[in-house]
A and B are shown apart, each in its own frame.
Chain A
Amino acid sequence: MLSKGLKRKREEEQEKETLAVDTWWLDPSLPAVAQAPPPATSSSLFDLSVLKLHHSLRQSEPDLRHLVLVVNTLRRVQASMAPEPTLPPMPSPSAAPCVADSLLASSDAALSASMASLLEDLSHIEGLSQAPQPLVDEGLPGRPAGGSPPSLGALDLLGPATGCLLDDELEGLFEDIDTSMYDSELWAPASEALKPGPEDGPGKEEALELDEAELDYLLDVLVGTQALERPPGPGR
């Protein structure tokens, strides 16, 4: 095969098939088409492209040309895979159509989101010195923890370590976030427990599983203890 290239750990057969199919699948009138399954080839190309895209997005400063070409190729592959409703049954990947579909669906969303957020970041960074505030607002809580990297990524860039002029402002902001998360952890009912706080520990997890009655009891105990230590406040 081609020497010294980056090789995935796939079987030789699949690779050979991939190489061989480069030309035949272009022409659907060829008899060879009936033998090998086109979707498997397209999906391996799809996987490869998604892999490349993620690798590219993980770079601190991705090569824009490479990124754009991979994304366009991915779109082409997606477009060719989309109109496949049912596929010929295959031995092991009987779930292949479903896999392909779910891969398409989830990857598409994640893909668009990743691409969009990265490219948005690039454009935001460009206008960063002019408009820091809107950028900061987008990064505040309200987003699920899982999807945090893209827009918070830009915020990370403004972290104290980089010596940005907006240091003091941001330090204060981070403090606010910490406090609010800490507060919501203690006082929110167990059923509404959101993202885990920074001081995650076994105690916290247990607290989340308490029902309302137990929580009330705990609070009463706490209040009672505090009452022993100091005169009761007006609100309690």
Chain B
Amino acid sequence: MFLKFSLHSMFYGAGGGNDIQWCFSQVKGAVDDDVAEADIISTVEFNHSGELLATGDKGGRVVIFQQEQENKIQSHSRGEYNVYSTFQSHEPEFDYLKSLEIEEKINKIRWLPQKNAAQFLLSTNDKTIKLWKISERDKRPEGYNLKEEDGRYRDPTTVTTLRVPVFRPMDLMVEASPRRIFANAHTYHINSISINSDYETYLSADDLRINLWHLEITDRSFNIVDIKPANMEELTEVITAAEFHPNSCNTFVYSSSKGTIRLCDMRASALCDRHSKLFEEPEDPSNRSFFSEIISSISDVKFSHSGRYMMTRDYLSVKIWDLNMENRPVETYQVHEYLRSKLCSLYENDCIFDKFECCWNGSDSVVMTGSYNNFFRMFDRNTKRDITLEASRENNKPRTVLKPRKVCASGKRKKDEISVDSLDFNKKILHTAWHPKENIIAVATTNNLYIFQDKVN
């Protein structure tokens, strides 16, 4: 049993602190400080095997990286991620009825589990979800009877013999084609998509409604949650995120701008306006301020792989909830508590509205989320240790171990510490992803994608 535990730690890592040493592996994206708006990364997602890593950007493009097969000789590092496919997923549109431009920014990407040789993913902007098929072509037919190699048709009278075309290998070509377009179902801005464990349906959520789709059917979707008040003047709360349970195909959760999470069971009724469970932590009276509601607004909700827990991210903290306990989270981790005294300034410059995402590692033992100054944080649920790391080109030698960072909240700043006032609030890490099986993480700064791995020795 002891041996098993050690092996488990070795493969899945015991988290931050001294157990794992995170090393720089790669960085993707432009080097210059002048960030092109279209290059701003808006979503990052590993596929189910971890072999593929997809990013979406503000320009509506999707870039997929593929991990190269491990070199058996060079076992000191895992395979690198190289560009596999790039395609334009969404284009800017104009809604003539409302005289509004629809942004092409990709809000979310979600991979479907692989069923055959091709890969499928869902990508969405504010209004439209698309199912993309990514397939490889590494051979082509040659030796047509009626066509020349360049495609020109031969004069039939010159054909004297018949032959059977054969497949010959060619340079690998990766093609992406849109297979389904799910449109016209959302009045408000889509913030989440989540594929059901039945692998046939998925949900899409906007500020006020959640719709259920079948992957094969594009002209119909079912509304399963609607929180729009009859009188819009009474609107005080919006939906911020939604996700299906990883194992129960009838269960999903959605979070709100007031810091609540509702768990719904689709078997109970067609319209899940009445929740089965309501998760909410009572407000701490000593921390009450005018900004209490804003900082309690949940920006992301993610189920653990096991399905027993869910994690929520609000402005200052990450909370782990046990699905069996609604009145408070079982664990709370402070991401950047030193910002609590700066809330007014952060309200002024709108940083308080930033939406940070969070993610689990493969074994649900460590959680990760981003912060400012290109810092990101990891919390080990078992050891209760946490670590702050920085995504920066300064440490860009492969296999360089990242140095832990520390922010000095007040008082005398120690050497190597950074004071709160020197933090760059324009450098925010909103999107992070963790490989489903290994200790490989993808961290997105404004326009660069960093890949870090644990030190393998």
B-binding residues in A (CB < 8 A): 1-8, 15, 18-19, 21-23, 26, 45, 48, 52, 60-61, 63-66, 68-69, 71-73, 76-77, 80, 112, 115-116, 119-120, 122-123, 125-126, 128-129, 156-157, 162-164
Q: Knowing A61-B100, A64-B189, A68-B238 touch, does A73 contact B207 (C-beta < 8 A)?
A: no
26 contacts between A and B (CB under 8 A): A1-B345, A2-B342, A2-B346, A2-B421, A3-B422, A6-B348, A7-B349, A23-B341, A45-B347, A48-B347, A48-B348, A52-B350, A60-B99, A64-B188, A64-B208, A66-B350, A68-B236, A72-B236, A76-B290, A123-B232, A125-B187, A157-B98, A162-B96, A162-B97, A162-B99, A164-B97
A76 CA / B293 CA spacing, docked (Å): 10
A15 CA / B340 CA spacing, docked (Å): 16
CB contacts (< 8 Å) of A73 on chain B: these are 290-291, 293-294, 347
Interface residues of B in 176-200 (CB under 8 A from A): 187-189
**A19, B345: Cβ atoms closer than 8 Å:** yes
CB contacts (< 8 Å) of A8 on chain B: these are 348
Cβ of B351 within 8 Å of any chain A Cβ, yes or no, is yes
Cβ of B265 within 8 Å of any chain A Cβ, yes or no, is no
CB contacts (< 8 Å) of B257 on chain A: these are 65, 68-69
**Bitwise interface map of B from 327 to 360 toward A, beta carbon under 8 Å scored 1, else 0:** 0000000000000111111111111010000000
Cβ of B416 within 8 Å of any chain A Cβ, yes or no, is no
A-binding residues in B (CB < 8 A): 96-101, 187-189, 207-208, 228, 232-233, 235-238, 240, 257, 286, 288-291, 293-294, 297, 340-351, 353, 421-426
Q: Knowing A4-B426, A69-B257 touch, does A128 contact B97 (C-beta < 8 A)?
A: yes
Q: Which 10 A-B pairs have the closest CB atoms?
A: A5-B349, A119-B232, A64-B207, A116-B233, A157-B99, A6-B349, A65-B238, A61-B100, A4-B426, A69-B294
CB contacts (< 8 Å) of B422 on chain A: these are 3
Q: Knowing A48-B347, A73-B290 touch, does A4 contact B99 (C-beta < 8 A)?
A: no
Q: Give the A-B contact count at a CB cut-off of 8 A.
A: 125
Q: Knowing A64-B208, A65-B257, A123-B232 touch, does A26 contact B289 (C-beta < 8 A)?
A: yes
**B237, A68: Cβ atoms closer than 8 Å:** yes
A72 CA / B257 CA spacing, docked (Å): 11
Distance (Å) between the CB of B423 and the closest chain A CB?
Answer: 8
**B96, A69: Cβ atoms closer than 8 Å:** no
Distance (Å) between the CB of A153 and the closest chain B CB?
Answer: 10
Q: Name, among B189, B232, B297, B341, the residue most crowded by chain A CB atoms within 10 Å (CB to CB).
A: B232
Q: Knowing A26-B289, A64-B207, A69-B294 touch, does A1 contact B350 (C-beta < 8 A)?
A: no
CB contacts (< 8 Å) of A19 on chain B: these are 341-342, 344-345
